[in-house]
Structure 1
Amino acid sequence: MELSALRSMLLAHPGAEETYPFGPEILVLKVAGKMFALVSWQEEPLRLSLKAEPQQALLWRELYPSVQPGYHLNKQHWNTVRLDNSLDAQLISDMIAHSWQQVVAGLPKTKRLALQGAGDRDCRTQ
């Protein structure tokens, strides 16, 4: 997957913003100041870390060899995905949406409602 396509997927979520709090080699996507994705954009292949509900995180790890426990993150809640073309774009998009939803679900109600008004996506967890 190309970095430009990945950035488009990530930034399509309401309130998503790019930051570089850990230096220029790690692109961090946040919503309402909370991380929902980290991209090691200089890695080959790209590596994408995403938040997940713990049972879902384990399931994805069992099903897909390119999904591993989060690198330098809480391994119960984060996965790192090696974007080596073994996963289709729709699955990656679904994982990104799940991560965004996990973060938004933990926000105060006023912030959740503001994000719901900013886009057509359902900000509640599925």
Structure 2
Amino acid sequence: MNMKDIVEHCLSYPDSYEDHPFGDGWTAIRHKKNQKIFALIFRLDDRLCINLKCDPNHAGTLRDTFADVQPGYHMNKEHWNMVYLDGELSKPDIYEMVRESYHLTQPKKLKKSE
């Protein structure tokens, strides 16, 4: 998977936008309403990577199952995974992780008062 493919996929989610808060080489995909990052794309040791938020109960399972899933680079290791995009993982596997990250970081819905 290349940079263009993953950015296009992330931007296909509703109300998302591309940002570069850390300068060249770092692409953040955020929610428009709360500005939370749900995907952070970068190169590490000349490999294309993405940080994605993950349920802590699921994060360890993914790391144990796939060598290309590691604790989040420069992120909370309990809640974020770093995924190498040029390795063994299929597009559907990566896209499912993006979907989970998008949902975990989306704006909270307000409860209607009775």
Q: TM-score scaled to structure 2, two decimals?
A: 0.88
Q: Deviations over 1:61-88 (max 9, x none)?
A: 0100000000110000000001123100
Structure 1 partner of 2:25: 25
Whichever residue aligns with residue 62 of structure 1, its letter is D
Structure 1 partner of 2:90: 88
Structure 2 partner of 1:78: 80
Q: TM-score scaled to structure 1, two decimals?
A: 0.80
Gaps of 5+ in 1: 111-126
Distance 1:8 1:59, change over 3 A: same
Bigger shift: 89-98 or 24-33?
24-33
- 4+ long deviations beyond 4 Å: none
Q: Give the Å deviation of 1:41.
A: 4.8
Q: Which has the higher strand share?
A: 2
Percent identity between the two aligned chains: 33
Q: Which has the higher helix share?
A: 1
Alignment coverage as a number of residue pairs: 108
Gaps of 5+ in 2: none
Distance between the aligned counterparts of 1:4 and 1:62, measured in 2? 28
